[in-house]
Amino acid sequence: MLKIENLHASIDGKEILKGLNLDVKAGEVHAIMGPNGAGKSTLASVLAGREEYEITEGTVAFEGKDLLEMATEDRAREGLFLAFQYPVEIPGVSNVNFLRTALNEIREYNGQEQISAKDFMALVREKSAIVELDAKLASRSVNEGFSGGEKKRNEIFQMAMLDPKLAILDETDSGLDIDALRIVANGVITLKSDKNATIVITHYQRLLDYIVPDFVHVLYDGKIVKSGPKELALELEEKGYDWIKAEFQH
Amino acid sequence: MNLETIIPEMAASVNWKLEGKHLLSEDLRKKALSVLENMPFPTTRTEAWKYTRLAKIRNGNFVARQEQLASNRHQIDLNAISLVFVNGHFASNLSSSHFPDGIKLLALSQMEVMELSVLGNTLPLEGELFNAFNTAYATDGVYLHISANMHIKPVIEITHIVTGTNTISHLRNVIVAEAFSKAHIVQQYVTENANTCFTNVVTEVSVAKNAFLTIDKLQYEDESCFTIATEQVTQATDSNFTINTLTLNGGLVRNNLNIAVNGQNCETHLNGAYILKGSQHVDNHTVVDHTVAHCVSNELYKGVIDEKATAVFNGKVFVRKDAQKINAFQSNGNVLLSNDATVNSKPELEIYADDVKCSHGSTTGQLDDEAIFYLRARGIGEKAARQLMVGAFVGDVFGKLTNEAVKTRVDQLLQERFEWDFVG
Amino acid sequence: MGYTENDLAKDLENSEYKFGFTTNIESDRAPNGLNETIIRYISAKKEEPEWLLEYRLKAFRIWSEMKEPNWAHVHYEKPDFQAISYYAAPKQTKKYESWDDVDPELKATMAKLGISMEEQQRLTGVAVDFVMDSVSVATSFKAKLGELGIIFCSFSEAVKEHPELVKQYMGSVVPVTDNFYAALNSAVFTDGSFCYIPKGVRCPMELSTYFRINEANTGQFERTLVIADEGSYVSYLEGCTAPQRDENQLHAAVVELIALNDAEIKYSTVQNWYPGDKDGKGGIFNFVTKRGLCETNAKISWTQVETGSAVTWKYPSCILKGDNSIGEFYSVAVTNNYQQADTGTKMIHLGKNTKSTIISKGISAGKSQNSYRGLVQIHKNAHNARNFSQCDSLLMTDECGAHTFPYIECKNPSAKIEHEATTSKIGEDQIFYCLQRGISEEKAISLIVNGYCKEVLNQLPMEFAVEAQKLLAISLEGSVG
């Protein structure tokens, strides 16, 4: 589904990603872990198409298409979803209006009919239940005045609404208490199928107790330096990142 | 004689100490004089003077006079380097004579060689009556130069004392903080046995690359006196400038603070507190002009107005074209304590760049009766309760003061003038 | 990649004025210029009583002594007041007995404006007064309103039919001497709308006036007078368009609202005068004086969506004379290309327990300049007065300007005044967030802008809100909508 080869990316002339490779297939869950500053969030931003980053080398294929050539919104319409580390507040724009616009634009792109108001509301009810999101939040302005936990739950709710092929969760667990973490994780698991894939970017192992990854990758200094089964996450949690640093420092 | 006729007559009457080596170049003085000739006295129809009537100054009968004082009882910080001026003239008997390395501090009148090519360069004269007046007739002032890389530890204290009846003083100060230097200046304006005096001060300040400069401006003149004080400041790249204006007395006080932020990555902090009673009229005009990108400015002015006093606040922030990534904040709060008190507030933003974050806020209200009742119910007397509330309101401005001696003096002056007693 | 800010700017430039057609109707017009003879000509044409002629002549003499103001944050070439025709009327001025009598060209004009009267009548039940080149041409729903004692007619008709009301209230809120343009209007106004709601009557429908400038080299000087008698309520809508012309045309209107004890007036404007082309050529100079007077317990609420005009100079104001009276001002002002707007409000608190709310949302695009100028004045006896002001500015390009000039004057310690203002750019983070959800940049900006204006748009009656949203879209077409 997603194939990243030798990806190099820099911002303001500083290289952050230095030859990253990753292969994600439908039905898989990949966890990307690593210390602060390793390039985890950069990877998420580059895949979603943030313009501040310059791609200096490498390719990214998404369902066989060249992802890097696509505009941000087209990547989204092709089925790439990013759950933001810091969800953005948009005053005055209701969550419902926001999602309906998004859903209809995606449908239009894919040659589908606009969703009726009735079907849309039914969908909102169904999907908001997945993350136990208060229905009232759906009519409030996007993320405005939401608590940290509500924002993260709202991200997963949006993911449920838009039903992407590939979801990238950027530090979705940070700032959540254990109950909220469980709700978010359950949401992600519910949405999982053999047709979609998930990349979980995280600093901590605890999210992976709930969302069990098929592969764990360690990102360090702009490259994936180690990959392994889910047990690798536990090892990292135990030993910290210092041993990775020691091993790969040059 | 009143001010409209005083201008030509003063030239003859003022003891012009710098005869032959004027503070300001002959050209500049000529220009100033021609502005004075052609300019009408501002009225409340002039936007910049909308809320401040100048009739008392306009109709005053002022005289220039030199006076010797035996001692300076106003010194705030005993460890300070101190210069004292009386009625616009340098008082060497009251001033420090030794200075630490890296600092050049003397009265303009003492300077042998005029190396002051910067003097008057940044000060607008056209349409600015009091700037022109000062440029034409300044008698003396401070020249302060802080060398590059020098951190001056002691406070530099400049005291302007005015005495007598109908005394007119014109002071011109020049402060240059060179690159990477750091200094703290206290300027205070006080009076002794003074009555209906008029002081017109202009201070030109240049803050060079990465320099840190703080000025505490403490105004405590007699309630019958008039002061117009202008600070014309330019900031270069990476510099940091703070000015705290504390107005605790004075009949008519107009402060003009003009900051031109000409370098990137600058910080500018303007704080002000005014606590007024009687028939005081205090007018703070500030202009922060962001001409380049990536700067921060913060402005916090708070006032408490009692009896028949009037406060005016007019803060203006310009963000010029291409001055992107500017964060500018401005806040003005006022508490009116009496039925005859007035406040006029005009916080303005003029923005020509798009990637900016600017905001201003202005509030006007009275002390919260509920809160006072609550305090009283806990056994605090009404006077103490009001003192606490007023103290809390202006406290965040006083909290910006870093020099302990200045804080102590402010407390002392508030005690002396108000006994912290604010009648509602 | 994608739709960039540059594309956006281009689209903005190219979005054309949708109401730039002219209507070919023969018209009756005065020669250019202004003097006492012209004023007598206008007055005679309108078959006015002597007192009104005197009123006009007095205003003219006062105006002749006045200077055009220049304190506003706008720059333009001052109009030549002698090069304007002060009277232009569609030639056929006889009254229409029924809708069918109306000139088909006129009907077509109205249809193009989206206010087809048949449709309006059938679907919305809005009563419409249509003023073209200063002359009121049709008023609908008159009979129905008449049953309730509501008078809704052209200003000229009111002068003839209800002179006592006109005489009593005209100039009572905006005196002839008020300002340069008000004085000019008082001298040369040709028509406008008049509305009177009797005691205790709640007007059952929205009353609506459409203003249109059609003729070249004319100015429009209409006058609106709305009187809400004790305990009554009325919601009044006003829309404006003008054809596309290369020269600047002057619109100097006066609107006076009088809300007597316990009355409420809601006055909504969607102003879309021709703004000039993308190079700043042509467009309407919109110099308007709007003011309302509130007696005890009365309420006046101004809502405006301003997208048109080359230069706007407009401050709908409330004089809160009566105790417990309320003034409100909700405004969205959009400027694009070379448009300049200096707009805001004045809230004059005279009575006790008076309240005012100001919500102003400015949007600047292109090379435009958009200023908020407002006055909150608390007089000595206005005990417990309250004001809340919020003035936000949104910047779309780095060549435009957004300015805030609030004047706050307080002479009473029991007043509570809060003013907040912010200026910001449409957040790149916000746009990126929308893009990542598959929403196009154009739609994203539209969503954000409409969200930003929501507090104001919510104040408009439903059918007007839809029109206003469309207008926002047209004004910032291609991106910002």
- Tell me the residues of chain A between 101 and 140 that have a Cβ less than 8 Å away from chain C: 101-103, 105-106, 109
Residue A107 to chain C, least CA–CA distance (Å)? 10
Say how many CB pairs under 8 Å bridge B and C. Answer: 117
Those chains having 3 or more beta-carbon pairs within 8 angstroms of chain B are C
Q: Which residue of A has its CA nearest to C438?
A: A73
Cβ pair C437:A76 closer than 8 A: yes
pLDDT of residue C11: 44
Mean pLDDT across the stretch A95-122?
88
∠ Cα C236 C239 C241 (to 5°): 165
Distance of CA B380 to the CA centre of its chain: 36
Residue C114 has pLDDT above 70, yes or no: no
Cβ pair A73:C435 closer than 8 A: yes
pLDDT of residue A80: 94
Phi then psi for residue A125, to 5 deg, are -60, -45
Pull the structure tokens for residue C404. Answer: 């805030």
Residue C383 to chain A, least CA–CA distance (Å)? 34
Cβ pair B351:C420 closer than 8 A: no
Which chain A positions have a beta carbon within 8 Å of C440's beta carbon? 73, 105
Residue B337 to chain C, least CA–CA distance (Å)? 6
- Tell me the residues of chain C between 429 and 448 that have a Cβ less than 8 Å away from chain A: 429-430, 432-441, 443, 447-448
pLDDT of residue B114: 55
Name the residue with higher pLDDT: C33 or C159.
C159
Whether the CB-CB separation of C410 and C379 falls below 8 Å is answered with: no
Cβ pair C424:B357 closer than 8 A: yes
Low-confidence residues in chain B, pLDDT < 70: 1-23, 112-118, 420-424
d(CA A183, CA A189): 10
Radius of gyration of chain B (CA): 21
pLDDT of residue C95: 44
Which chain C positions have a beta carbon within 8 Å of B288's beta carbon? none
CA distances from B244 to B183, B188, B349, B406 (A): 14, 11, 21, 11
Those chains having 3 or more beta-carbon pairs within 8 angstroms of chain C are A, B
pLDDT of residue C480: 40
CA distances from C197 to C4, C149, C191, C208 (A): 52, 7, 20, 14
User: How many other C-beta atoms are found inside a 10 Å radius of the C-beta of residue A250?
Assistant: 3
ipTM: 0.85
Question: Is C451 near chain A, with CB under 8 Å?
Answer: yes
Counting CB pairs under 8 A, whether chains B and C reach 3 or more, is: yes
Question: Is C384 near chain B, with CB under 8 Å?
Answer: no
d(CA B345, CA B318): 17
Residue in A88, A97, A162 nearest the CB of C430: A88
CA distances from A40 to A45, A216, A221 (A): 9, 13, 10
Mean pLDDT across the stretch A103-130?
89
Distance of CA B412 to the CA centre of its chain: 20
d(CA C153, CA C194): 5
pLDDT of residue B382: 79
pLDDT of residue B23: 65
Residue C340 has pLDDT above 60, yes or no: yes
Whether the CB-CB separation of A54 and A11 falls below 8 Å is answered with: yes
pLDDT of residue C109: 57
- Cβ-Cβ contacts under 8 Å for C98 (sequence gap 6 or more): none
Residue C22 to chain B, least CA–CA distance (Å)? 36
pLDDT in tens, B100-154: 889 999 888 777 655 666 678 789 998 898 999 898 888 888 999 999 999 999 9
Pull the structure tokens for residue C11. Answer: 């689209």
Burial of C13 (0-12, 13-18, 19+ CB in 10 A): middle
d(CA B86, CA B106): 15
Whether the CB-CB separation of B289 and B260 falls below 8 Å is answered with: yes
d(CA C157, CA C164): 13
d(CA A9, CA A17): 5
Q: Which residue of C has its CA nearest to B320?
A: C401
User: How many other C-beta atoms are found inside a 10 Å radius of the C-beta of residue C219?
Assistant: 28
- Residue A220 belongs to domain with CATH number: 3.40.50.300
Element (H, E) at B199: strand B198-207
d(CA B180, CA B185): 16
Cβ pair B354:C408 closer than 8 A: no
Whether the CB-CB separation of B130 and B160 falls below 8 Å is answered with: no
Which chain B positions have a beta carbon within 8 Å of C415's beta carbon? 336, 364-365
Which chain A positions have a beta carbon within 8 Å of C452's beta carbon? 91-92
pLDDT of residue C445: 83
Which chain C positions have a beta carbon within 8 Å of B354's beta carbon? 395-398, 400, 425
pLDDT of residue B81: 94
Cβ pair C411:B47 closer than 8 A: no
Q: By residue range, what is the domain housing residue A30? A: 2-248
Question: Is B359 near chain C, with CB under 8 Å?
Answer: yes
Residue C401 to chain B, least CA–CA distance (Å)? 4
pLDDT in tens, C386-403: 999 999 998 888 888 899
pLDDT in tens, A156-201: 999 999 999 999 999 888 777 778 888 999 999 999 999 999 999 9
Question: Is A73 near chain C, with CB under 8 Å?
Answer: yes
Q: Which residue of A has its CA nearest to C446?
A: A93
Q: Which residue of B has its CA nearest to C382?
A: B339
Domain count, chain A: 1
If DSSP states are collapsed to H, E and C, what string results for A116-185? CHHHHHHHHHHHHHHCCCCHHHHHCEECCCCCHHHHHHHHHHHHHHHCCCEEEEECCCCCCCHHHHHHHH
Q: What is the phi-psi region of residue C200: left when phi exceeds 0, alpha when psi lies from -120 to 50, beta otherwise?
A: left
Phi then psi for residue A183, to 5 deg, are -65, -45
Cβ pair C398:B345 closer than 8 A: no
Q: Which residue of C431, C433, C450 to mutate against A (max A Cβ within 10 Å)?
A: C433
Q: Which residue of C has its CA nearest to B362?
A: C419
pLDDT of residue B13: 45
Domains of chain B, by residue range, sit at 3-263, 368-424
CA distances from A198 to A123, B29, B148, C88, C371 (A): 22, 76, 58, 70, 49
Helix (H, G, I), strand (E, B) or coil at B71: coil
Question: Is A146 near chain C, with CB under 8 Å?
Answer: no
CA distances from C453 to C275, C330, C469 (A): 21, 10, 10
Which chain A positions have a beta carbon within 8 Å of C1's beta carbon? 49, 51, 71-72
Per-residue DSSP letter, C24: -
